[in-house]
């Protein structure tokens, strides 16, 4: 189940924090709860993606994005992600999450998030490609920037973000399905 109560708590905790600039980092604090873990007693990889909402949505509130979405009747969707998992997060472990916009192009906004352990090690990091959607499809990020009083032109893309975008452009879509011999199907 989606952690609506946790999200409400994060929004409550950040309600009086100062607004964020478009490239500022939102820092939030979380605990890995028993319902977040897998059979190995560590943070489940799927739950990690859900927990990243707990940083990304309050970041959007502080940056003025959520009020712009409401005002314009827009939605927000994820169009891709790449995650690195490096250190386990165990049950009841406290983590610090960092969330920030790193760049945008003509269609997508790229958001980086990371979870940090108490000993200073980065446990995992994700790069999201997100899109703002309207009744006619994807809303250009330049229009979104205008709605949140931000300059429409971002600085150059960080090299690692540009490399990921280039790699994603080479990935076939829709995926090619390889024809694999299925011994069970052949026996029937």
Measured at the alpha carbon of residue 48, what is the angle toward residues 129 and 140, in degrees to the nearest 5? Answer: 15
158, part of any domain: yes
31, part of any domain: yes
Report which of 122, 152, 131 is spatially closest to residue 75, judged by C-alpha positions: 131
186, part of any domain: no
182, part of any domain: no
The confidence score (pLDDT) of residue 184 equals 60
Pairing of strands 26-31, 109-117: unpaired
CA 140 to chain centre: 18
The confidence score (pLDDT) of residue 183 equals 57
CATH code at position 101: 3.10.129.10
Tell me the average confidence (pLDDT) per consecutive run of 10 residues in the chain, 188 residues long: 91 94 95 96 95 96 95 96 97 97 96 98 98 97 93 90 96 76 57
* CA max distance for the chain: 66
Number of structural domains (the chain) is: 1
56, part of any domain: yes
Write the DSSP symbol of residue 137.
E
4, part of any domain: no
The confidence score (pLDDT) of residue 144 equals 96
Residue span of the structural domain in which 144 resides:
17-175
145, part of any domain: yes
9, part of any domain: no
- Rounded distance between C-alpha atoms, residue 34 and residue 127, angstroms: 26
pTM above 0.85, yes or no: yes
């Amino acid at each position: 189940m989606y952690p609506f109560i946790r999200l409400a708590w994060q929004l409550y905790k950040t309600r009086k924090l100062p607004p964020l600039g478009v490239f500022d980092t939102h820092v939030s604090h979380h605990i890995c709860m028993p319902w977040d873990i897998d059979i190995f007693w560590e943070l489940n990889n799927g739950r990690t993606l859900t927990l990243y909402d707990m940083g990304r949505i309050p970041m959007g509130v502080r940056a003025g994005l959520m009020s712009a979405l409401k005002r314009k009747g827009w939605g927000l969707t994820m169009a891709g992600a790449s995650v690195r998992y490096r250190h386990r997060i165990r049950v009841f472990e406290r983590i610090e999450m960092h969330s920030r916009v790193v760049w945008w192009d003509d269609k997508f906004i790229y958001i980086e998030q990371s979870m940090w352990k108490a000993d200073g090690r980065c446990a995992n990091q994700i790069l999201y490609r997100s899109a703002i959607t309207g009744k006619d499809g994807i809303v250009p990020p330049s229009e979104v920037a205008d709605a949140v009083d931000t300059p429409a032109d971002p600085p150059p893309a960080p090299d690692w973000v540009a490399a990921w975008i280039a790699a994603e452009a080479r990935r076939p879509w829709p995926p090619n399905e390889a024809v694999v011999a299925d011994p069970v199907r052949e026996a029937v």
